[in-house]
């Protein structure tokens, strides 16, 4: 739960700094991007004298980010960096993060890296956009239609369309507030969930590659280079293969292994009942109890990951 002191502190910091830089986590998802762009518009609409920049990778080319290289060194050294949806300092997607004057953290992950004392963190919130929305409405700030749409993107995706366990009364209250800004939810859902036939056929093909761990409710898909040959599937769509294993009675834990743009072996982990975050941390990752991510040094580590997931189940039956 965010406190009034934390909430007021963020307002104070925004008022203090002329330049504010907003950074997401590496390999951003819709919660990270929605948080960054939603917060940017809220600051610009309520504190019009501020220069606000969103930096780092984009999920889609339509996202209008400022070029981080336009920030000169003097401005950078006197700026406030606000991180959104980032649990660990190393995961901040900004190469100049060590050169800013101060850092403020807005997040909803379990605290694992206390990289700043200035923070707005609620690990019970379903999304970072929920935290930002609650802060904005608590302080009676203007939330434009544009800001609300960005925030709704994060709320919808991190809650799994309000299906995930951490979805709460507060989540629906935030959704109600955002809907009152006349957002176009049909367009948002279409942007998120409408897929072309090529993608659907590819996802079906990936589901047929899913492997089931013998005697355990664990399934996984490993996407290899050959699965992407002669395909226009990008990382954003590639990760949709994870959802093909959800909602299946015989599967309690499911995960996707894929290579990102940097050539790293990434793992997206999901569970209905088990605390997979405890396993993800062991593999240089983390996140939430039922939704986490981590990295493997090679596919040889896959067996070790599976063994740890089996132990997790054995210890909780």
**DSSP string of 172-184, one letter each residue:** HHHHHHHHTTT--
To the nearest 10°, report the CA torsion of 49, 50, 51, 54. Answer: -140
Three-state SS at 267: strand
Can you give the residue ranges of every domain in the chain?
A: 4-192, 197-314
Cα-based angle 20, 65, 128 (whole degrees, multiple of 5): 65
The reported pLDDT for the residue numbered 66 is 57
CATH superfamily for domain 4-192 = inorganic pyrophosphatase (n-terminal core) (3.90.1640.10)
Going by CATH, does the domain composed of 197-314 fall within 3.10.310.30?
A: yes
Q: What is the DSSP letter of 124?
A: T
Query: How far is Cα 167 from Cα 186, in angstroms, rounded to an integer?
Result: 21
Query: How far is Cα 212 from Cα 196, in angstroms, rounded to an integer?
Result: 28
The reported pLDDT for the residue numbered 63 is 57
β pairing state of 80-84 and 102-107: parallel
317 residues of the chain, pLDDT tens digit each: 778 898 999 999 999 999 999 999 988 899 999 999 999 999 999 999 999 999 998 876 555 555 555 788 999 999 999 999 998 898 899 999 999 999 999 999 887 788 999 999 999 999 999 999 999 999 999 999 999 999 999 999 999 899 888 899 999 999 999 999 999 999 999 999 998 999 999 999 999 999 999 999 999 999 998 888 777 787 778 889 999 999 999 999 999 999 887 788 999 999 999 999 999 999 988 888 888 899 999 999 999 999 999 999 999 86
Helix, strand, coil: what percent of the chain each, to 5?
40, 15, 40
Long-range pairs for 223-229 at CB < 8 Å and ≥24 separation? 223/256, 223/257, 223/258, 223/259, 225/259
For the chain, what is the radius of gyration of the CA atoms?
20
Tokens of 38: 């939603």
Query: How far is Cα 133 from Cα 38, in angstroms, rounded to an integer?
Result: 9
The reported pLDDT for the residue numbered 65 is 59
User: How many alpha carbons fall within 13 Å on the CB side of residue 2?
Assistant: 29
Q: Cα–chain-centroid distance for residue 232?
A: 24
Closest of 19, 41, 28 to residue 183, by C-alpha = 41
Query: How far is Cα 183 from Cα 174, in angstroms, rounded to an integer?
Result: 13
Q: What is the DSSP letter of 96?
A: T
Question: What angle, 0 to 180 degrees and rounded to 10, lies between the N-to-C axes of helices 30-46 and 128-138?
Answer: 20
Q: What is the largest CA-CA distance in the chain?
A: 61
Three-state SS at 97: coil
* Strand order, beta sheet including 119-121: 51-55, 19-23, 80-84, 102-107, 119-121
Model confidence, pTM: 0.88
Tokens of 168: 């709460």
Which residue bears the tokens 């986590």? 25
Torsion sign across C-alpha atoms 91, 313, 125, 111: negative
Q: What is the DSSP letter of 142?
A: -
The reported pLDDT for the residue numbered 49 is 96
């Amino acid at each position: 739960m965010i406190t009034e002191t934390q909430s007021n502190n963020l307002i104070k910091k925004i008022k203090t700094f002329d330049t504010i830089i907003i950074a997401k986590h590496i390999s951003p998802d819709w919660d990270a991007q929605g948080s960054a762009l939603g917060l940017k518009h809220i600051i610009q609409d309520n504190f019009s004298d501020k220069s606000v920049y969103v930096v780092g990778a984009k999920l889609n080319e339509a996202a209008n980010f400022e070029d981080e290289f336009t920030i000169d060194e003097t401005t950078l050294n006197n700026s406030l960096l606000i991180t959104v949806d980032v649990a660990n300092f190393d995961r901040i997607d900004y190469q100049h993060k060590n050169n800013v004057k101060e850092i403020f953290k807005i997040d909803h992950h379990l605290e694992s890296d206390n990289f700043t004392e200035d923070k707005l963190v609620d690990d019970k919130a379903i999304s970072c956009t929920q935290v930002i929305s609650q802060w904005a409405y608590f302080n009676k700030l203007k939330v434009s239609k544009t800001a609300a749409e960005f925030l709704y993107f994060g709320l919808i995706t991190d809650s799994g369309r309000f299906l995930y366990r951490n979805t709460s009364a507060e989540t629906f209250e935030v959704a109600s507030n955002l809907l009152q800004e006349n957002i176009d939810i049909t367009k948002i859902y279409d942007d998120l969930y409408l897929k072309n036939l090529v993608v659907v056929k590819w996802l079906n093909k990936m589901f047929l590659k899913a492997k089931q761990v013998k005697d355990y409710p664990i399934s996984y898909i490993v996407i290899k280079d050959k699965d992407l040959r002669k395909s226009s599937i990008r990382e954003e769509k590639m990760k949709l293969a994870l959802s093909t294993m959800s909602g299946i009675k015989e599967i309690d834990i499911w995960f996707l292994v894929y290579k990102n743009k940097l050539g790293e072996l990434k793992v997206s982990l999901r569970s209905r009942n088990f605390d997979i975050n405890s396993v993800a941390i062991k593999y240089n990752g983390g996140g939430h109890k039922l939704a986490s991510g981590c990295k493997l040094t090679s596919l040889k580590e896959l067996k070790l990951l599976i063994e740890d997931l089996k132990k997790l189940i054995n210890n909780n039956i």
